Structure 1
Amino acid sequence: MEALSGILYPYKDLIGSIAGIVTIGQMFSGTFMCYDMYKQGDTGGMGVMPFLGGFIMGVLNLKYGYMIRDDTMILVNFVGLALSIIYLMVYFNYAQDKVTVWAKMGLGGAFAAAVIAYSEMEDPKVVEHRFGLILTAFMFWLIASPLFGLSDIIKNKSTEGLPFPMIFSGTIVTFMWLLYGVVLKNQFIVVSRRRGRSRPFNLSVP
């Protein structure tokens, strides 16, 4: 990675700008899902986790961006967090079981708050590394979450619960952030991008 980082470093700002632009563009892929909910008048079998996961990742990645003092990450995740909140509001509006959705949103918010609180109390010498570990672990869980409903997808022979626009755009976005992680020599960005190419939802980036 050292050699590749040295080759790419002169293009750091360009790679970061492209990664930021394609990511912000991908963030708007959630509007397709919201439009489908508007036309159907309900969530169409889509779970809340794609939107809730985007919200949590937005919060945590924004914090991580401040930790490593990277302006590109801060800007992208700020926009992603704002859009995630809008998407959650739309989803909640069309959800039939609002109590369950509200409970999941509460748990997600509590988890994000707990991690942020931990980062404020942890030793500054180790907090960046440990926060990165938590962030990466949560991302791996998000990546694996669609597999939890794999049996239903096979049984119903329907992929309605898998948002193709976000899967496709997420592949492009994760590749750009993989390059950016190599340039920054940041192992957490590199690892999460390698694992994140199949993510069904990727509103925010590490």
Structure 2
Amino acid sequence: MAMTRESWAFVFGIIGNIISFAVFLSPLPTFYVIFKKKSAEGFQALPYVVALFSAMLWIYYAFVKRESALLLITINTFGIVVESAYIIMFLIYAPKKQRLSTIKLLLLLNVFGFGAMLLSTLYLSKGAKRLAIIGWICLVFNISVFAAPLFVISKVIRSRSVEYMPFFLSFFLTINAVMWFFYGLLLRDYYVALPNTLGFVFGIIQMVVYLIYRNATPVVEAPMKGQELSGGHIIDVVKIGTDPNRAGGGAGSKV
């Protein structure tokens, strides 16, 4: 029996869930370092706060949509739990100044920002119009996050070093974008499909840049210690120990 469009969408959504689960968990090495050092100094909470906000947006969208939204709910529920755990751990080990700035950011974006969006869409719109407004908010926010790899790509080109852009991370994030693109396309949910088109394009660009510069002679620069957003996905760049050639990182992603 031929598979229906909805059946194919379910297959792509399941694969997207599996890859996204792995991507959400990939910052664990970073937080292991924080736990061992008992300090989050030099790290930033912004990527995790943004990832949490994105997961909250997609959960809200999925509950308003209802139809064929189960796979959006499962992965973003997991994302909310994981990102919340990361943020709590960061707050425990962060210096006082960073802790206060993180709390302010959480209140501004995840409490007041999300709350204002929630109340305005609940009371000022309804039905298909409400879903469209929420969908556009999710789409625009995800496009802005997906465009962030430009910073990582420019860093690689300037430094002629690919240590900040692991090939397999870029590869799996690209595959993840492809899965969610087809999931959205088959369900005619263009709020999911369109941002992942951009994610796929930037993923291909990242891999091409990696192949160009993988054997290049690096330009000596000041060590980089921080975090960068990559494609709706988060890449943490962390210098470990005293060896300037060792780096550990991770990524967190949602639809």
Which TM-score applies when normalising by structure 1? Answer: 0.80
| Count of paired positions | 200
Residue matched to 1:127: 130
1:172 paired residue among 172, 175, 196: 175
Q: Identity percentage over the alignment? A: 21
**Cα drift, residue 126 of structure 1:** 0.8
Structure whose residues are more often strand by fraction: 2
Change (3 A) 1:106 1:147: farther
Is the contact made by 1:42 and 1:95 (CA closer than 8 Å) also made in structure 2?
yes
Change (3 A) 1:63 1:26: same
Tell me the secondary structure at the aligned position of residue 43 of structure 1. coil
Q: Which has the higher contact order (CA 8 A, sep 6+)?
A: 1
Mapped to 2, the partners of 1:43 and 1:139 lie a distance apart of 27
Change (3 A) 1:187 1:44: same
Q: Which has the larger radius of gyration?
A: 2
**Cα drift, residue 112 of structure 1:** 1.6
Mapped to 1, the partners of 2:168 and 2:47 lie a distance apart of 12
Mapped to 1, the partners of 2:167 and 2:106 lie a distance apart of 24
1:64-120 CA-partner distances (Å, limit 9, x unpaired): 111222111111111111111001111222322211111111112121222222221
State yes or no: 1:63 paired with 2:63. Answer: no
| Letter of the 1:93 counterpart | I
Change (3 A) 1:98 1:10: closer
Tell me the secondary structure at the aligned position of residue 15 of structure 2. helix
State yes or no: 1:100 paired with 2:150. Answer: no
1:19 paired residue among 16, 20, 24: 16
Residue matched to 1:3: none
Tell me the secondary structure at the aligned position of residue 133 of structure 1. helix
Structure 1 unpaired stretches of 5+: 1-5
- Give the superposed CA RMSD: 3.1
Residue matched to 2:253: 203
Change (3 A) 1:108 1:20: same
Alignment of 1:11-160 (within 5 A): 11-43=8-40, 45-69=42-66, 70-96=69-95, 97-109=98-110, 110-121=112-123, 122-145=125-148
Change (3 A) 1:114 1:9: same
Structure whose residues are more often helix by fraction: 1
| Letter of the 1:131 counterpart | I
Change (3 A) 1:86 1:169: farther
Is the contact made by 2:6 and 2:186 (CA closer than 8 Å) also made in structure 1?
yes
Mapped to 2, the partners of 1:63 and 1:164 lie a distance apart of 33
Mapped to 2, the partners of 1:171 and 1:187 lie a distance apart of 18
**Cα drift, residue 127 of structure 1:** 1.1
1:156-179 CA-partner distances (Å, limit 9, x unpaired): 999898798865543232221111
Structure 2 unpaired stretches of 5+: 203-230, 235-251
Change (3 A) 1:22 1:148: closer
Mapped to 1, the partners of 2:20 and 2:106 lie a distance apart of 24
| More divergent stretch after superposition (181-190 vs 163-172) | 163-172
Which TM-score applies when normalising by structure 2? Answer: 0.66
Change (3 A) 1:60 1:130: same
Tell me the secondary structure at the aligned position of residue 46 of structure 1. coil
